[in-house]
Amino acid sequence: MDSDVDESGDDTVPADPEKWERPDVLRCVRWVARTFGVCAPRKHLLPDTGRALLALTEDNWVQVCDGSEQSARIYHAYLRHAHAGATGQPPPEPLPEHQATTSQAAAADY
């Protein structure tokens, strides 16, 4: 693990990603990697602020995630959801793999 990552175990960050500084960015990506089971991004390519992190496109995330499209989609979606929740905006659409159709939901009940 990179030496600039906080190893204290405290994953608390401000609710609004726009207010994040470098330690918050690193805590967040560590939490997302652990929680969603995705590869950790290349930390030297991460921006130093949450505002800059929010500006990353999904294609930017693919580069930061060393070509892993799945990881890129998870990080990008998580940040969009966190920002929407913190600013009172409606959440973005869930990722397609997290959307259950009516027939899938009904089949899951059996």
**Structure tokens that stand for 83 in this block:** 């920002």
pLDDT tens for 35-75 read: 999 999 999 999 999 999 999 999 999 999 999 999 999 99
Whole-structure pTM value: 0.77
| Domains of the chain in sequence order | 17-108 (1.10.150)
What is the reported pLDDT for 91?
83
